[in-house]
Amino acid sequence: MLKEVLNHIMKKPATNLYPAQKLQMPPGFRGKLKFYPERCIGCKLCMRDCPTQAITINKLEDNKFEAVIELDRCIYCGQCVDSCPKKALESTKDVELTQLDAHKLRVVFRAQPENNSKK
């Protein structure tokens, strides 16, 4: 045991120094979802295909929809992104989703008059 400790004591750490050093996620990584309300047509294919019922699309008014995503239910499979015919959903590389307040795991994306998107 002591020999093992001495062998490794001067070596570079095998793990990353997170969160001081952040890794770049690889291409195709599926992290937190992003919703583009201006593209959504309300077809709800994303809701139908989600295996964990983590996404809900609500109609706000004619041609205006919001997406409610439960981050604690989402398994980041990207099925909703693939199912959307209008590219209104996107997987980002955001992995920092830890929350002390569970209510913050329910994210509402809704169009805003000033910049057309809200997170």
CB of 73 to ligand SF4, least distance (A): 7
- Token output for 41: 């047509």
- Compute how many other C-beta atoms are within 10 angstroms of the C-beta atom of residue 31: 15
Evaluate whether 40 touches 81 at the Cβ level (below 8 Å): no
Binding site residues, ligand SF4, CB under 6 A: 33, 40-46, 50-52, 54-55, 57, 69, 74-80, 83-84, 86, 88-89
CB of 108 to ligand SF4, least distance (A): 14
CB of 18 to ligand SF4, least distance (A): 23
Closest CB to ligand SF4 among 1 and 54? 54
Closest CB to ligand SF4 among 86 and 104? 86
CB of 93 to ligand SF4, least distance (A): 14
What is the radius of gyration, based on Cα positions, of the chain?
Answer: 20
User: Could you tell me the CA-to-CA distances from 21 to 15, 17, 29, 92, 93 in Å, in that order?
Assistant: 11, 5, 18, 19, 16
